Structure 1
């Protein structure tokens, strides 16, 4: 269901379905960034375009519920490679963002939404893993990401879970699942010309830090640095912590005593180069004045030192 190019124009696409499956077009458009519909495909024909053997029951029953409709929409997006760049916003006209590009992407296989932002002459890419109860819209992660872009680093913020999964507390704390999603995002960077070949770092907050460390353990060749903000590295488990080879910076608030203790424990289990940075007077969310600015500076220095400048003492 990809719109075909005719000269400089794109053939629009239209999908008409019945019953609850009428949600499919809007969900596909949401994932794919489509602006107009132009092709009519009955629901049974559309379902035939994917492997219906993977769906339970027949096509009339498989998408009877809302969650199944959403899954069907994601399957369509993934089947037709609409998970790649779905919209590009060239911000070069903005004096404050010369050459900056913001690219909205959909990451397979679950159709997770993300925003890839690439400053001019980016030298590395940092993928963010948000914490429990958060999303790619996290104001704290966005503030840190802005500082990283000012330091010449591309950033990718994306949702680790689908909307339905985010409502399931078990999924929120399923570190293995979160790490799989983060790994898929890392792999997907190779599909984008703007980030292909650039060194990759991971920035994790809260439970996202555990997912980042597990991903670093399973993607040793791909990950060049890790930064944790108020993270729970203990949730990664001792086995994963021992396998991490990327230099790791653990940033903790000085008044976040329980998390500080857990980070100290995790540091003793890691065999790679690891440092613990304490922000005096800061609590878990770094809401105090200038606390998050300190986090951003520490992260930018760490990523540039490990990914760009290749400073020996942190390798």
Structure 2
């Protein structure tokens, strides 16, 4: 069978318009233009919002509904609180759709030259999964995540209005930082600074003097997670929960006293008991690790069976 040659015409890409292109400008000039468009003088405040599906049947939320049924529950996402504050950015978003080169140049300036503040929308409960939502927003940046430089978390809008604990005569707050810790440990965020900002005016009726908020202590935790001073990464595969206690400036607190600022609850991957094991590692305000506290039953169950039998024998002799 003889082969047939196909003549492919030589064509050149034509410009979409006859005028000059933005790419014709020097890179330095394009950077100045994009900085004017995508840099905000104020931190970009991202607020959690509900997004309701187009078809949403409230009857499906009844307790009698089958748990296995697929229900169109409202989803959460982070969006700018007031877009009119970022008018230039909103107008320049279309520039990201022109070509790949301009997209990366503009998005890089947008993410690296601005401070992003995560906040909880008024009226949303803490059970909405705030830290998970923060993590998802950052991961959606994809390759642009490595250009993120500064993220602030407004704890007033995030964890302040949640459930309180009362421990040892001082009011403290427990918040799960697992999702946030995983984000901080992501290699793409190595150059990003995560910090909390001082809460705004507290709600009326809250005793501000009894439950003071110490921003410096909270940010020490983030630095500890970043530098891994307590070798936390070796527990990353088995971490169940990170409990955070930022409100430790109660008047009953003695200055210089070691207080567990961060507790890491880890599961034993090699524990075959039904109860499962747990390990509590406490990090104090200096970022140092306090001796781990083991669950008693978990510690016994992880011993060799022969040793457990001997312990049981000693207990039997003691009872006799």
Give the TM-score normalised by structure 1.
0.29
Which structure carries more helix by proportion?
1
Task: Give 1 or 2 for the bigger CA radius of gyration.
Answer: 2
Give the TM-score normalised by structure 2.
0.29
